[in-house]
Chain A
Amino acid sequence: MSIAAINEQLLRAIGVGVALVDIRTGSIRYANDTFGEWFGPMEGGEKLPELIAGPGIFEAVKTLDTADTFTTEVSFKRRRRSMTVAIEGNRALDQAEDLAVLVCQNISRIKELESMIDSYAMMVERNTHEIRREKEHVEKLLLNMMPRTAYEEYKSFGVVAPRLFSDVTVLTLSFSNFETIVAEHDPAVIVSELNDVYTAFDRIGEQFGCERVRTTGDSYFAVSGVPDPVLDHAGSVANAALRFLRYIEQRNTSHPISWVATIGVASGTVIGSVVGVQKYIYDVFGPAVSAADLVRASARDMQAVVHPSTAGQLDERFAVEASGASEGYGILHEVGTVSDAAR
């Protein structure tokens, strides 16, 4: 077999479509088997525009009159399958004739894979979006259970190291008539009322720089100075305590359930930490919390009683009236409203 014959055999057999086209007339002078397979069998005399209906393929070939090369893509359907063929055209080296060499590669698979990646990327993006939304939801829930700094620590290390806070003021509030209310009203009504009252407390607390730690049924527990230090933590809590009482008084005049609260306030040291492994909660406990509970026990209805640890830190906006319950315990008033609060 001659070299020329071997070359022709090779040209026929390769998986690349090859054709020689007359640049002026578009007549196909030669096409290998692969080209014929894609664009129709060659019987001689075929013209390029009749074979390939792609956008301006013959126009592209004609540019070889001046240019050396061009590339283009054509898409068509072959037995319900979308085929895309990339065509590269070069001017033939033979200067005697104006001929173009078309080299065609089947890039359908690449196009199909591109489509699949697009489709998959969209699914992944949507999933990522959903996951992000879930994450925000979880974060919001966790931030309801612990301060942001504790949450950040928990997120990074999986634990929250207990911290000692030495300059804080604690407020504990309890409803002295809670048992009567529970016995006399529908649970749904009680929960909805508590929801209202505690939400209002949260708002008042936020205004004065103290944050709720937890509620347990009839008691509300807030602190100022945890986890971020608050300069006037005693004043913050005293303000909040008096406004809690005022809010309840006002609310009672227009609602069927009359709430009666007692408040204890004390300053000192507490420990803040996440407690629990499976069902964790950010908790605050320590001497100041025990002291606040202790003074609250001595409070009469609708009184806020302060421990000496707090009383010593209050400025002239507040007056502390000796309670007589225990040495140093004082009933908290706001200056100018002593007579009101002492009713």
Chain B
Amino acid sequence: MSTKTPYEKYGGFSTVSRIVMRLYDKLLDDDDVGPFFDDVDMPSLIDHQTKFVSSLMGGPASFSDTHIANAHKGMAIYDAHFDRLKELIQETLDEFSVDQADTDIVLGAFEARRGLLVIR
């Protein structure tokens, strides 16, 4: 039997869309990670966030690792930024009453790609 992805479990796109908007607000308001989006236009940023949350939750369209690496090329992303983003994801999912076990899956998937984003 196939197990449900968090995407299916929490109501598909109708919930994901709210999570996307919440995370979007948090990212832009955050003084640590916000500046990365200073010069990104809104449609690209939303597109990025939609795909990002959807694929982290196990929904449609996943990024390939190459795509992720290319999208963040040349950005001065350090471990502290990555950790901060993880905190924001945790906070957002908490607000939507996502079980910690599912949040851990999401954060695990995110953590697995740390090497693609963070400058060593």
Q: Interface of A with B (CB < 8 Å)?
A: 79-82, 109, 111-113, 115-116, 118-120, 123-124, 126-127
A15 vs chain B, min Cβ distance (A): 17
B28 vs chain A, min Cβ distance (A): 5
Q: Which of A79, A80, A116, A118 contacts B21 (CB 8 A)?
A: A116
- CB-CB contacts of B22-61 with A at 8 A, as 1s and 0s? 0010001000001101100111001101110010000011
B82 CB–A CB distance under 8 Å: no
| A111 and B21 contact, CB distance less than 8 A | no
| A124 and B46 contact, CB distance less than 8 A | no
| B51 and A119 contact, CB distance less than 8 A | yes
- Beyond A116-B49, A123-B54, 15 additional contacts (C-beta under 8 Å) are A80-B34, A80-B38, A81-B28, A81-B42, A82-B41, A82-B42, A112-B24, A115-B43, A116-B17, A116-B20, A116-B47, A118-B43, A118-B47, A123-B61, A126-B60
Please, how many angstroms separate the alpha-carbon atoms of A79 and B54 in the complex? Answer: 26
Please, how many angstroms separate the alpha-carbon atoms of A116 and B35 in the complex? Answer: 21
| A111 and B42 contact, CB distance less than 8 A | yes
Please, how many angstroms separate the alpha-carbon atoms of A113 and B50 in the complex? Answer: 10
B77 vs chain A, min Cβ distance (A): 17
B83 vs chain A, min Cβ distance (A): 21
Residues of A within 8 A of B28 (CB): 79-81
Please, how many angstroms separate the alpha-carbon atoms of A109 and B13 in the complex? Answer: 17
Given the contacts A80-B37, A127-B61, A120 and B42 also touching, CB distance less than 8 Å? no
Residues of B within 8 A of A127 (CB): 60-61
Please, how many angstroms separate the alpha-carbon atoms of A160 and B52 in the complex? Answer: 44
Q: Interface of B with A (CB < 8 Å)?
A: 13, 17, 20-21, 24, 28, 34-35, 37-38, 41-43, 46-47, 49-51, 54, 60-61
Of B24, B43, B49, chain A has the most CB atoms within 10 Å of the CB of B43
- Cβ-closest chain A residue relative to B40: A80
Residues of A within 8 A of B21 (CB): 109, 112-113, 116
| A112 and B42 contact, CB distance less than 8 A | yes
Please, how many angstroms separate the alpha-carbon atoms of A115 and B50 in the complex? Answer: 9
| B41 and A123 contact, CB distance less than 8 A | no
- Cβ-closest chain A residue relative to B59: A123
Residues of B within 8 A of A79 (CB): 28
Please, how many angstroms separate the alpha-carbon atoms of A112 and B20 in the complex? Answer: 10
Q: Which of A115, A124, A126 contacts B42 (CB 8 A)?
A: A115
Please, how many angstroms separate the alpha-carbon atoms of A116 and B17 in the complex? Answer: 8
Given the contacts A124-B60, A127-B60, A127-B61, A116 and B38 also touching, CB distance less than 8 Å? no
B21 vs chain A, min Cβ distance (A): 7
Residues of B within 8 A of A124 (CB): 60
- Cβ-closest chain A residue relative to B16: A120
Residues of A within 8 A of B50 (CB): 116, 119-120, 123
- Cβ-closest chain A residue relative to B35: A80
Of A109, A120, A127, chain B has the most CB atoms within 10 Å of the CB of A120
- Cβ-closest chain B residue relative to A109: B21
B19 vs chain A, min Cβ distance (A): 11
Please, how many angstroms separate the alpha-carbon atoms of A120 and B46 in the complex? Answer: 10
Residues of B within 8 A of A116 (CB): 17, 20-21, 46-47, 49-50
Please, how many angstroms separate the alpha-carbon atoms of A240 and B54 in the complex? Answer: 57
- Cβ-closest chain A residue relative to B47: A119
| A120 and B43 contact, CB distance less than 8 A | no
| B47 and A115 contact, CB distance less than 8 A | yes
| A120 and B17 contact, CB distance less than 8 A | yes
- Cβ-closest chain A residue relative to B24: A112
Please, how many angstroms separate the alpha-carbon atoms of A113 and B21 in the complex? Answer: 8
Given the contacts A80-B34, A81-B28, A116-B21, A123 and B46 also touching, CB distance less than 8 Å? no
Residues of B within 8 A of A82 (CB): 41-42
B36 vs chain A, min Cβ distance (A): 9
Residues of B within 8 A of A115 (CB): 42-43, 46-47
